[in-house]
Each structure stands twice: as structure tokens, then as C-alpha cells.
Structure 1
Amino acid sequence: MYLIMLILITFASTADSFIIGFNYGLKKVSINNTSNFYIAMVTCVGTFLSMHFGKILGDLMSVKAANMIGGMLLILLGMYMLKMSVLPKRNKILEMSEDPTIVDEDKSQVIELKEAILIGVILSVNNIGMGVGAGITGMPVFITPLICGIASFLFVKSGSLLGGLLKSRRLSGYFEIVSSVFVLILGILGFFN
């Protein structure tokens, strides 16, 4: 069960990394390996902190109550994400991916260290609810953030490469919907953990 939940949370929490990479690739904004590494590190630390907080909350209640509360939190988050992917409103991730100049202030068409850290922070803030919910349900607090950090690096890289090859933004919308469904499934599995 943990392996399935680990795969789901990894995909769901790093989907925004793919979307950022994909949309920046479309706009020919380069994210080199060093900048991508910093994005992944900040994402890893942000996931760890939110999961650790969730674990502290989960330790204050019975396992059954923790699983139910964590699962419900993830289900609500997944429903909200699904609504936002179908009926999008302006948010930092959407603004940042559609207009790289928000982050690329010097308009160099290259994401540098300071800009990479900003992207990582925004991605981490966007994942707080998921991290807390996963921590409450008892997901491993050390291995999960590490895997999410590695996945973030790979997703930004693959998104950027794919975005550089394609001309349509539609793929990132589908990715958001799939990510939302995975969070819903993760929440449902949390009840049976």
C-alpha cells in the first residue's frame, strides 16, 4: 500500500514541476541542471517540513483518526485541485508558468539561482496541504521528500525538453487533471492505510 501511495504522492506533488518546465520550454526559457537542482532541493525541503508537521499532528491522535483526517484532507485538496484545473482562476503557479518574466526578471531567458529558489518556494507552498495530509496518514517522512525532490528534477527536465519540441499548451492542462485525480485516490487510500 505504501508503494502505491508513494507513487501517487510523488506524481501529484511534482506535476506542477512538469507544468513549469513544459511551459518554460514552450517559451524557450532555459532551466539548466544547476537551477533545476536548486528547485528540486527547495521542493524536497518544503515537502519534508509539511510532512513532518503532518506527522506531528498525526502522532497526537489514534492511527485510525489520523488516517481518516489525513485521507479527508487529501480528498478535499484533490477536489479543489480538480475544480481549479477545470475552472482555473489566477494563481501563482499559473501566472508563473504562463509568464516566465514574473520569475525571469532580468529577461535573460535563463532561470538563474535566485529565480530557481523562488520557483522552488512557490512549488513548495503549493504542496503544503498535500504534504500535511500525507504526513498525517503516516507516509514515510524522510524517503517521500527525497523521492519527490528527485522526481521534481526529472519532471522539470522532461517538461522543458517536451515543451521545447511541442507548440501546444494543452498537455499541461491534462497533467493538472491527472494530478488532481491522483490526490483524490491518495486520499481514499489514506482511509485504508
Structure 2
Amino acid sequence: MTWLLIAGFAISSSIDNFGVGLSYGVQRVRIPFTSNALIAAICFIFSLIGIISGAWLAEMLPGILPDLIAFAVLSVIGIRIMIIAFRQQRKHQANVFSEPEKMDFDGSSHISLGEALLLGIALSANALTNGVGAGLLALSPIAIALSAAVGSYITLSIGVGLGAKLAGVQIGKMSVGQFGTFMSGVIILLIAVTRLL
């Protein structure tokens, strides 16, 4: 069960990378190994910070309170992610942190290390909040952070590779990337429910 929870957190933390990768693939923007590795490293750091914070909270709280707070925090995160997926259906003016697929500032068709730094921060917001929830559940910090980082690297690479073929595909009213974001929220909600079982 523990490894299923870790896998769930890893998928949820990195599913946005897949959607962003699809967007880059369509635009023929490449993400070199070093840039993708930097993004994964940032994801690792953010996850670790979140987990340590969550574990500290768990130690401070008595009895079943950590489980109840974990349920509440993860539920809010899951619902928020699902709402974001629905909002993505309507294009609106936003900065690079809410639309990370626009991070190729210089139009060079590849993501430089500087752009990767900003992109990594933008994509690691989920990893940070998910990490707090994982810390409250007393899951292994290294296992969560490593799985999130590896998941980040893999999903971004796969997204870029499949972008040209899948970005135009619709699942209901959602694009593949939006559906992935929505499912990320569903996964987090399912993890939240396990706290009450």
C-alpha cells in the first residue's frame, strides 16, 4: 500500500509535465537532457521541502489529527487541480508560472538552463504541496522526492515526444494535457480518502 501511495504522489506531482511536454512537442521545442535534469532536480528539492514540512507538522499534532489534516489538505489540493483543468479550457491572459508551456522566451526552439530554472519552479508547485501531504502521512521523504523527480523527467520527455501526435486529441471537451491535469487531481483525492479508511 505504501508504494501505491508513493506512486500516486509521483504521478500527481509530474502529470502537468506531460501536458507541458505535449505543448512543446507541438511547437517543435526541444528540452535538452541538462535542462530536463535541472527541472527534475528542482522537483526533487521542492518535494523534499514539502515532505519535511509535513513531517514536522505530523510530529507536532496529536493522535489522528495528522490523518485528518492530511485528508483535508489533500482534498483541497485535489479539488484545486481539477478546477485548474476545467479553467484551462478557457484561454486567459496569464504569466509564465500559470502557463509554463510559454517558457521559451528567446524563440530558440529549445529550453536553455535559464529557462529550465523558471520552468522547474513553475512545474514544481504541485510537488511542494503534494510533499506536505506526503509528510503528514509519514511516507519516506527520499522515496517520494526521488519518485517525483524521476516522474518529472520521464513525463516531460514522453510529452515532448508525443506532442506532435497527441496534442490535438480531445477527451470529451478536454485536450490530453488538460485531462492529465484533471486525473492528477482525482489521484490526490483518492489518496486523501485512504486516510479515512
- Normalized against structure 2, the TM-score is what? 0.88
- Please identify, of 64-73 and 85-94, the stretch whose mean Cα deviation from structure 2 is larger: 85-94
The structure with the largest helix share of the pair is 1
Q: Alpha carbon RMSD of aligned pairs, Å?
A: 1.7
Number of the residue aligned with 1:39: 39
- Please identify, of 29-38 and 83-92, the stretch whose mean Cα deviation from structure 2 is larger: 83-92
- Deviations 1:121-169 (CA, angstroms, capped at 9, x unpaired): 1112343222111111212111110111011100000000000333516
For the 8 Å contact 2:22–2:167, the answer to whether it is kept is no
2:136 equivalent to 1:142:
no
- Map residues 128-139 of structure 1 onto 2, 5 A cutoff: 128-139=128-139
For the 8 Å contact 2:12–2:187, the answer to whether it is kept is yes
- Map residues 151-166 of structure 1 onto 2, 5 A cutoff: 151-166=151-166
2:195 equivalent to 1:190:
yes
- Map residues 77-96 of structure 1 onto 2, 5 A cutoff: 77-88=77-88, 92=96, 94-96=98-100
Equivalent-residue separation in structure 2 for 1:165 and 1:43 (angstroms): 27
Q: Which amino acid aligns with 2:192?
A: G
Q: Which amino acid aligns with 1:15?
A: I
- Structure 2 counterpart of 1:174, from 170, 179, 192: 179
- Sort the Cα spacing of 1:117 and 1:131 in 2 relative to 1 into closer, same or farther, 3 A: same
Cα deviation for residue 87 of structure 1 reads 3.2
Q: Which amino acid aligns with 1:96?
A: P
Q: How many residues align?
A: 188
- Sort the Cα spacing of 1:128 and 1:161 in 2 relative to 1 into closer, same or farther, 3 A: same
Q: Secondary structure at the match of 1:13?
A: helix
Q: Which amino acid aligns with 1:181?
A: V
Q: Secondary structure at the match of 2:99?
A: helix
For the 8 Å contact 1:11–1:179, the answer to whether it is kept is yes
Q: Secondary structure at the match of 1:142?
A: helix
- Please identify, of 43-52 and 116-125, the stretch whose mean Cα deviation from structure 2 is larger: 116-125
- Deviations 1:81-135 (CA, angstroms, capped at 9, x unpaired): 11221234756555222xx2xx222211110111111111111234322211111
Percent identity over the alignment is: 24
Number of the residue aligned with 1:121: 121
- Normalized against structure 1, the TM-score is what? 0.90
2:7 equivalent to 1:3:
no
Q: Which amino acid aligns with 1:153?
A: Y
- Please identify, of 146-155 and 169-178, the stretch whose mean Cα deviation from structure 2 is larger: 169-178
Q: Which amino acid aligns with 2:184?
A: S
Equivalent-residue separation in structure 2 for 1:10 and 1:126 (angstroms): 10
Q: Which amino acid aligns with 2:105?
A: E
Equivalent-residue separation in structure 2 for 1:12 and 1:61 (angstroms): 26
- Map residues 92-107 of structure 1 onto 2, 5 A cutoff: 92=96, 94-97=98-101, 100=102, 103-107=103-107
